[in-house]
Amino acid sequence: DTAVSQTPKYLVTQMGNDKSIKCEQNLGHDTMYWYKQDSKKFLKIMFSYNNKELIINETVPNRFSPKSPDKAHLNLHINSLELGDSAVYFCASSRQGSSYNSPLHFGNGTRLTVT
């Protein structure tokens, strides 16, 4: 059983299109994240949700809109795709308390290529 699963694994699309990436976790975690990994391998946090509530939004363009229908799912919708959006997007989840951190569990990533 995959703990954090995201689909699709690969996404090739043209500039200007709108696309979505889906993520689901079966670990019972209450916090989920989206990270972006660019070609230089930098891992940058984009969003964090705790129990379906947005708690971190890291100056990401508003073309990116996360949606969490329940605490096991966090989807990412991207409007008007640009060349610079090409990257690997990782979903992750963790069990967090109000002041307690625990490890992030990552999905296998979605490689987005915008042409």
Partner 1 sequence: GENVEQHPSTLSVQEGDSAVIKCTYSDSASNYFPWYKQELGKRPQLIIDIRSNVGEKKDQRIAVTLNKTAKHFSLHITETQPEDSAVYFCAASIGSSASKIIFGSGTRLSIRP
Q: How far is the CB of 79 from partner 1 (least distance, A)?
A: 25
CA distance 101 to 81: 33
Binding residues (CB under 8 A) for partner 1: these are 31, 40-45, 48, 50, 55-56, 90, 96-101, 103-109
The tokens describing 51, both together, are 């129990």
Q: How far is the CB of 84 from partner 1 (least distance, A)?
A: 19
| CA 55-60-61 angle, 5° bins | 130
Q: How far is the CB of 113 from partner 1 (least distance, A)?
A: 15
- Return the bridge partners of 91, or none: 34
Which of 19, 105 has the CB closer to partner 1? 105
Q: How far is the CB of 62 from partner 1 (least distance, A)?
A: 20
Which of 31, 75 has the CB closer to partner 1? 31
Which of 27, 43 has the CB closer to partner 1? 43
Which of 14, 40 has the CB closer to partner 1? 40
